[in-house]
Amino acid sequence: MTDSTGRRVTANLSLSLDGRYHGPGGPSDFGTFVPYVTSEVARGQLTRTWENATTALLGRISAEGFLGFWPSVAEDENADPRDRGYAKWLVDTEKVVLSTTLTEAPWERTRVVNAPAADVVAELKATGEGDILVNSCPSVIKQLLAADLVDRLYLLILPEITGGGERLFDDGLPASKWKLSHQETGELGEMAVVYDRVR
């Protein structure tokens, strides 16, 4: 496999102290996360994620959820400028949605691909430029971590233990080493960290 373009695969996710991306009530249990994801530090982290990205790689569930939320933020002049910046980027950028069930693209500038995430990333890395951002799509991030294809992790670590819910880092991942490239702590004790894969 050639990686001639040098595109990075980046992933962004909020995690509790016990490494979970939602609470014990299931995928829609985000009560613990809500106070933190709109903080100054969290919004700065969100901006950091997309500044160098030219492609959004999404799972179907995230794509459908984002479609119901972000386009209206892009149009809302009263929205936080950082939220609006991300929203406009997401609406305007190339989007690739991984799905086995979708038959047509749910957004403009979107294509649906029924293929393993690793194969799609290999194709994206062979063409184009700019980062490939997987934003808040745990199922896709997990596939790419398992294949050791994530080059940068943007994590927002929340100072709470949920005690249940799904974890990002499952047992059996390939061993890897990471370098801390950015760290910032917010007033609520949340910490934005950026880790780059050492290869």
Q: CA-to-CA distance for 135 and 9, rounded, in angstroms? A: 11
**Residue 162, SS3?**
coil
Question: pLDDT confidence of 1, banded at 50, 70, 90?
Answer: very low
- DSSP 8-state symbol, 78: T
Residue ranges per structural domain of the chain: 9-198
Distant-in-sequence contacts of 60-64, Cβ < 8 A, 24+ apart: 60/97, 60/98, 60/99, 60/101, 60/102, 61/27, 61/137, 61/139, 62/135, 62/136, 62/137, 62/140, 63/95, 63/97, 63/99, 63/106, 63/107, 63/110, 64/106
Q: What is the identity of the amino acid at 180?
A: L
What pLDDT was estimated at residue 160?
96
pLDDT band of residue 5 (cuts 50, 70, 90) is low
pTM for the model stands at 0.93
Cα–Cα distances in angstroms (integers) from residue 58 to residues 112, 152, 154, in the given order: 10, 16, 16
Q: What is the mean pLDDT of the chain?
A: 93
**pLDDT exceeds 90 at position 6:** no
Mean pLDDT confidence for 173-189: 97
Domain 9-198 has CATH 3.40.430.10: yes
